[in-house]
A and B are shown apart, each in its own frame.
Chain A
Amino acid sequence: MENWVQVLIIISVYCVIVLAVGVFSREKGAPSLEAYYVGGRSTRPFVAYFTYVATFHSSFAFLGAAGKLYSSGVDFFATMTSCIVSPMMIYLIGRPVWYLGKKYGFMTQGDLLGDYYDSKLLRTVVAVVSLIFLIPYLQAQIIGGGHIFESVTEGKVPFMWGCIILYAVIIGYILLGGFKAVAWTDTVQGIMMIVLIWIAGGIILGKVEGTLDWSNMMRTMAEEHGDKLLIPLEKWPIFMTTFLSLFGISIYPPSFQRFYAVDNPKSLKWLAVTSPIYLIFFYVPIMIIAFLGVIHMPGVAAADQIVPLMLSKYTTPLLTGLVMAGALAATMSSADSQLHAASSIFTLDLYKTLKKGNISDKQGIFVGRVTIVVIAFIALLLSQFSSSLIMSISAFALGGCLQVLPALIGALYWRRGTKTGALSGLISGFTVVLITQFVWTTPFGISISSGAWGLLVNVLVFVAVSLMTQAPSEAQIEKFHGYLASINQQQDEMKHTAEQITEQG
């Protein structure tokens, strides 16, 4: 049997398993909107952990990260700072969002912000901005999936068919099972990804070096490719600020939806500090494969292909198939969450607002399902006419999603934030992201990411305009800040009493 056929069979089996997980994990009977979009707020810690980390890791983690390490070395470690720092947002933003969501029934960012600032316009702007950034990001995932299919089947399954198969599978389980299907398939995919990449890294290291000891590889890297192990002085500003843009990944709509979905805020607390363990250790085998590629397979023009190329050269078709199924898992686990989040934003923030009233669960889920098919189709169509503009949009999408942060801080922590301040901050931040991405790329000679520039201007405008305009009503402040403060006080008192009892005992 030819290699590509073996690989295709493995990937097909994987697709069937994922579909089956989606079918079996779905809500029995007719689901409510809350069940379909946030899993009935009952996601347990184990599933919450994996659905978060798998959503965080896209096909970039498998292919792009290795490509970056292969072509430009440890500059890529700047992303790791973000892997550790940005999940802190899960606690700082996610915890209060969970309490408010539980009490007032919020399911999206727009829900919460629109209610706090009492503004349908703000809710619509947040929804539109989120969709603008989600669709290209989603499209980048389809492109990644199409390329994986094409490369592992040696072109026998063309790029377009790869994209179609990928989306048919994803749409299949989202339509059937909503959030629960997404979360459970993410869990299977998240486990698969880390197990398979470690196996691949170990096997390639063993085959190439004859041992699992990487000392020789590291010494060769230092002696012959030392430039890839050091960060040049001029790159430190960007190295130090990349994480600011990547804060966006912890509050972008798919991650935000997970804040509402967990069964207990404790899950968010521990997710904030333990998810980096997965994120950081995922990159160890990726680094091994990339460095071995630098030494033993120099001059690969398409650096993103270094993982499949090393697999094909040093392992069996079976392992190649399995690991590439892991790469597909990374693509699918991000794409499904993005698609599902886009559907919730359209249904709850745009359709429901336009309808000017409550919609029934049945109607909402129907609209949500139609939206999933339509958005997937748009993204699929766009992926066939990929342009550099679209790829650039997806590259700074997280910086764009980050612009919601100041408005969120206003709703959760800063009582003086106003509707006008939030709107003007959001619009100016978004504009600055576009300008510094495409027009004025190094303002004042400082090369930091466009998301960071946008955030800086956004915060300044938000604070200045808020201080010049009328503060939200006392009732509104009490509804959000007062409620959160009462929970904090209650917990602090309980903890204090427990400590006193321990001291006395």
Chain B
Amino acid sequence: MKMLKTRKSKQIFYGVLWLLCFLMVNWPIGTMAQRFEPYILGMPFCLFYFWAVYSLLILVGVLVAWRLFRD
């Protein structure tokens, strides 16, 4: 029972974490990043934002696989 509870709470935690990152590239949060200033790593902010959030989403995916996925 304790084992199931632990897994359930892990599922909720990592599920919410992944969903938050996913929401960052979508409306309405993503639309707030639609501007050029400031330039970061030579990129306008809107481009940098997309690459950064997509990279974050990949990292969170790896974390989810490591901590939650079976096998």
Contacts and interface: CB of A to CB of B under 8 A. Distances in A.
A230 B55 CA distance: 19
A491 interface: yes
Contacts of A231: 30-31, 34
B9 interface: no
Given A219-B39, A222-B44, A88 B61 contact: yes
Nearest to B69: A269
Interface stretch (A73-81, A341-349, A468-476): A73-81
Interface stretch (A19-27, A270-278, A378-386): A270-278
B17 interface: no
Contacts of A277: 58
The secondary structure that dominates the A interface is helix
The secondary structure that dominates the B interface is helix
A280 B55 contact: yes
A360 interface: no
B47 A229 contact: yes
Interface stretch (A100-108, A182-190, A210-218): A210-218
A84 B58 CA distance: 7
Contacts of B4: 492
Given A91-B65, A226-B36, A488 B42 contact: no
Given A273-B64, A493-B3, A215 B27 contact: no
A84 B61 contact: yes
Given A80-B54, A214-B43, A492-B4, 10 more contacts: A77-B50, A91-B69, A218-B42, A229-B46, A236-B26, A266-B71, A273-B62, A276-B61, A280-B54, A496-B3
Interface of A: 74, 77, 80-81, 84-85, 88, 91, 95, 213-215, 218-219, 221-222, 226, 229-231, 233, 236, 239-240, 264-266, 268-270, 272-274, 276-277, 280, 488, 491-493, 496
Interface of B: 3-4, 6-7, 22, 25-27, 30-31, 34, 36, 39, 42-44, 46-47, 50, 54-55, 57-58, 61-62, 64-65, 69-71
5 contacts: A80-B50, A80-B54, A81-B26, A84-B61, A492-B7
